[in-house]
Structure 1
Amino acid sequence: MPVIPIDSLDDPRVESYRNLKLKNLQRGGPYFIAEGKKVVERLLESDFETHSVFISRKRLEEWEGKVPADVPLYVADQSVMSALVGFDFHVGVVGCGVRRPSAPLEELLPRDAQRLTVVACPNCDNPENMGAIVRIGAAFGIDALLLGKGCCDPFGRRVIRVSMGATFSLPIFETDYLLEDLRRLKQDWNFQIAATVLDTDSELLETARRPARFGVVMGNEDAGLDQAWTEFCDRKLTIPMCRGTDSLNVAVASGIILHHFTRASADL
């Protein structure tokens, strides 16, 4: 498809990009936004459908050969583009991808796999934390991220930006019935599920070992995990801390925990 000039903020072809600072695309809608050079490149390389790419005119020579012929490539002056997206968009590259429903657990987690690792978040409602957990989960090779209905949109613009496009490669399973789905993993997949808590009576991470099929439940940044979750899980884990530190950012904690449990020496 040829390059398509955009001269007006009212052009309906770029409606998805309009005023991104003040809005997110609807979670139930058909599209999501990828922002920045590296993230848009990763969208194009992924198996998600790219609806369109929108660039500033100064980026045309660089991007004209990168965008497939069947993907609309919109081009505008930098001033028009910044006014459209709602902020001074100096990186000059943004893309629109097509959402798709979560694949069923049976597709994400093969029953015959010898080793499986999942992270579950019942109520991670902070986009920066969510994006960091996605990126960390992808880096440490987890098999899926399971998100409950209390979580923010994993395909929100800020989440995708913080994840640096890892959202496109990490299997993400969104569910309104996270507790029931984890129970299925325990019963049908033989998973062991661990809760992460701030409790000195819990198992210390530094000496903890894992079975072949293992899941970690991470709590909310402010409230952690409620009693129903800790009672459901098979074990409770805590990260030892010094100097009176009573908690860590949930994304930082997930990185520490996943680094420990994805090492071969952490296996039973």
Structure 2
Amino acid sequence: MIVCVTATDDSRLDAFRWRDRQLASRLEREEKVGAGLFVAEGDLVVERALHAKCVPSALLLADDLVERFAQLVSADVPLFVGDDELRREVTGLGVPLSVTGLFRRPARTSVDDVASTATHVVVLEAVDNPTNVGAIIRSAAALGWHALILDPTSSDPLARRSLRVSMGTALSLPFARSERGVDLVEQLHSHGFTCVGMSPGLQAHAIDKWRPSSDKIALFLGSERVGLAEQTMSTLDAMVRIRMREGIDSLNVGAAAAIALHTYAPT
């Protein structure tokens, strides 16, 4: 359904103005709820969302893309067509994206569901920067890892910035959020995973010298400020570190993750 819009305050475009917290409520981020919305920005990410079978609610796009995207969505999905200035103002970005898609969030997956089918999972603890989450997801997807698990405090993989940085690969990498009060390491151990964390500390094994004891590995990554919690590290099977020049305390978590994900990637 093609709809030409000229007024930036058109109420039909309100959802495109919403921020992440409005798109997905607190309940939807933390509990097993598949409701809510997410926004995909740019033609590549929107196409990947459609190819991942995400259900579109509406698209806001330039006139020259109407024919292309009309073939990818059902006839009842509104295609709001607006000029550069309208698209720039409605989305609140500094550039007029060629297309912005509003999608229904997919149903949530449980940790047990993920752990029962994957052999290589990335686990994020208190990684609250969506740029870092997006970078980690992009590396994990590129290097063949099977899934992502986040604690309740880590950023949403479907947040605008995370999805943009991951280039939409978050839509093809299954992810689950752990529940508060559940021992995630113990839960993964019950599925046969070797759980390893990353730390710059000299007590950790050099990353190129340590190998997991099983075919199933869960790689734990913590926040850039404090790393993994002491309680988490005390229950892991091993800690590994990346060798660095003296005087450099650590790498960005996205860069460190890429090195570890390559080192322990599925063969």
Q: How high is the TM-score relative to the length of structure 2? A: 0.88
Say whether 1:152 aligns with 2:150.
no
Deviates more, 1:145-154 or 1:173-182: 173-182
What's 2:62 paired with? 56
Give the 3 Å change call, closer, same or farther, for CA 122–5 of structure 1 in structure 2: same
**Helix, strand or coil for the counterpart of 2:188?**
helix
User: Among the aligned pairs, what percent are the same residue?
Assistant: 29
Q: Distance in 2 between matches of 1:243 and 1:198?
A: 11
SS at match of 2:208: helix
Structure 1 position 70, deviation (Å): 3.6
Matched, 1:4 2:7: no
Residue 192 of structure 1 aligns with which residue?
A: 194
Change (3 A) 1:178 1:14: farther
SS of structure 2 residue aligned to 1:217:
strand
Deviation of the 1:30 alpha carbon: 0.9
CA offset at residue 180 of structure 1?
1.8
Counting matched residue pairs gives 258
2:131 is aligned, of 124, 128, 133, to: 128
Deviation, 1:160, is 0.4
Answer yes or no: is 1:230 the counterpart of 2:233: yes
Counterpart of 1:75 in structure 2 is 81
Letter in 1 for 2:65: R
Distance (Å, rounded) in 2 between the aligned partners of 1:62 and 1:40: 12
CA positional deviation for 1:11: 2.5
Contact 1:57–1:78 under 8 Å retained in 2: no
Written as runs of structure 1 = structure 2, the 5 A alignment for 1:1-268 is: 2-18=1-17, 25-27=23-25, 28=28, 30-110=36-116, 116-177=119-180, 180-186=183-189, 188-210=190-212, 211-262=214-265, 264=267
Cα gap change, 1:154 to 1:207, in 2 (>3 Å): same
Residue equivalent to 2:32? none
Distance in structure 2 (CA, Å) of the matches to 1:182 and 1:51: 38
Q: What letter corresponds to residue 75 of structure 1 in structure 2?
A: V
Q: Which amino acid aligns with 1:159?
A: S
- Given that residues 191 and 213 in structure 1 are in contact (C-alpha distance below 8 angstroms), is that contact kept between their aligned partners in structure 2? yes
Task: Write the deviation string for residues 186-209 of structure 1: whole angstroms up to 9, x where unpaired.
Answer: 0x2121111111111211111111
**TM-superposed deviation, 1:4:** 1.2
Q: Provide the secondary structure at the position in 1 that maps to 2:81.
A: strand
| Root mean square deviation, CA, Å | 2.1
Distance 1:192 1:4 in 2: 53
Aligned to 2:197, what secondary structure does the other structure show?
strand
> Quick one: which amino acid aligns to residue 193 of structure 2?
F
Quote how far apart the aligned CAs of 1:5 are. Answer: 1.3
Q: CA deviation at 1:23?
A: 7.2
TM-score by length of 1: 0.88
Query: C-alpha distance in 2, partners of 1:256/1:178?
Result: 31
- Distance in 1 of aligned mates of 2:148 and 2:107: 14
TM-aligned CA deviation for residue 234 of structure 1: 1.1
Task: Give the unaligned 5+ runs of structure 1.
Answer: none
* In 2: Cα distance, 1:199 partner to 1:83 partner: 47
Which has the higher mean CA deviation after the structures are superposed, 81-90 or 193-202? 81-90
SS of aligned partner of 1:109: helix
Which runs of 5 or more residues in structure 2 are unaligned?
29-34
Secondary structure class of the residue paired with 1:146: strand
Give me the whole-angstrom Cα distance separating, in 2, the residues matched to 1:3 and 1:234.
56
